[in-house]
Amino acid sequence: MMPSLKLARDQRVCDLVMAMLFARLRVTLRPVEAQP
């Protein structure tokens, strides 16, 4: 595998992980402030 492709894939995986963590954090915080 070419280093550039591996780097691009690692960057995409990093972005995906960060997006998942951010979404989970928002889902965790949202019900607390949206409590009736």
Full-model pTM:
0.57
Residue 12: give the domain boundaries: 1-28
Q: What is the pLDDT of residue 10?
A: 92
Q: How far apart are CA 12 and CA 5, in angstroms?
A: 10
Q: What is the pLDDT of residue 15?
A: 95
pLDDT tens per residue across span 1-16: 577 888 889 999 999 9
Domain count, the chain: 1
Burial 1-36 (b: 16+ CB within 10 A, else e): eeeeeeeeeeeeeeeeeeeeeeeeeeeeeeeeeeee
For residue 15, give the DSSP letter.
Answer: H
Determine, yes or no, domain membership for 34. no
Determine, yes or no, domain membership for 33. no
pLDDT tens per residue across span 11-36: 999 999 999 999 998 888 776 666 66
Q: How far apart are CA 15 and CA 13, in angstroms?
A: 5
